[in-house]
A = this chain, B = another copy of it.
Amino acid sequence: MKKLINDVDSVLVESLEGFAAAHADIVSLDEACRFVRRRVLKPGKVALISGGGSGHEPLHAGFVGSGMLDAACPGQVFTSPTPDQMLAAAQAVDTGAGVLFIVKNYSGDMMNFQMAAEMVTCDNATVLVNDDVAVEDSTYTTGRRGVAGTLIVEKIVGAAAERGGGLAALKALGNSVNNATASMGVALTSCTVPAAGVPTFQIGADEMEMGVGIHGEPGRRRVKIASADEIAAELAGAVLKDLSLQRGSEVILLVNGFGGTPLLELYVMVNAVHKVLAGAGIRAVRHLTGSYVTSLEMAGCSVTAYAADPATLALWDAPVHTPTLRWRS
């Protein structure tokens, strides 16, 4: 195992400390490293909290800041955070308007966020993200997995929260964005969890895992390596089929690297996905291209489309100031 680390047991804490120091203008780290929070809260705003296993950076801590999340709870690599982390985060960032939990659909995350929701004393609600169209049920889930589409939910709901949206409305918006978001990914190589020390799965030099999950869990099938155009046809095809989009529809397109894929290749994939969209009469009106929801150093990518409408496009475009996403209208 080749990694830039000191010790497998201290990877997460050291990484969080480096992260918090590098972005001290935006975030602060709870002393016990249980959560990352927005340094300056906005009183009266519904607080957005997400979290999940580490190893998917920049998700979620990279999205803490104005216009997106108020706190993120990191578990160990590919391991759910605990209810006490979520409870501590909720107590720290609730300013009276309540807390919205944004949770990727994994059994461990679901269970722990549910326990936290029962323990917190403030108003709270939960949005469950399950955008991965590759498989129904999987290694770690009942039902579809939550993957890269999570960042689209976090961005749009985050903007609506910043504008003063109430808890119930934000939950409804989150559910609506999730329902209009679909993703599917492919892996060319495995990743290696530091504590395991060996690759999560074995894959041949001429093979790829179609429909892979963001922990390297199995997808639809193991296939021979294909061209970017063929991969785009399968990934974007599955995504468009799930969304049942009519010709003339507009989408936000996220081509997401899993951590070990060069940007050079991700833009080849953008170009390839555009051909699929053009064939379906669909236009990508916003793009995000890069490694945003990763699986450590896994090579591969996912394609996510969100069926945008003018109101949520405006929320996507709204100012955001986080360690990773940063723009103004």
Contacts and interface: CB of A to CB of B under 8 A. Distances in A.
A319 to B, nearest CB: 9
A262 B14 contact: no
A259 interface: yes
A225 to B, nearest CB: 6
Contact of A259 (B6, B262, B274, B328): B262
Contacts of A301: 4
Interface string A200-232: 000001001000000000000000010111010
Nearest to A259: B262
A291 to B, nearest CB: 7
B326 A5 contact: no
Given A4-B231, A58-B263, A227-B6, A268 B18 contact: yes
Interface stretch (A107-115, A155-163, A292-300): A292-300
B262 A229 contact: no
A57 to B, nearest CB: 4
Interface in A249-290: 253, 259-272, 274, 284, 287, 289
A16 B297 contact: no
A5 B227 contact: yes
B18 A271 contact: yes
Interface string A60-74: 001000000000000
A289 B22 CA distance: 8
A58 B262 CA distance: 9
A55 interface: yes
A19 interface: yes
B268 A228 contact: no
Given A5-B227, A14-B268, A264-B296, 14 more contacts: A6-B268, A11-B265, A12-B264, A14-B271, A14-B272, A18-B274, A19-B267, A21-B270, A22-B270, A55-B264, A259-B260, A260-B260, A262-B294, A263-B294
18 contacts: A4-B188, A4-B265, A5-B227, A6-B228, A6-B272, A14-B228, A14-B267, A14-B272, A18-B269, A21-B270, A58-B263, A62-B263, A77-B264, A260-B299, A262-B294, A263-B294, A326-B326, A326-B327
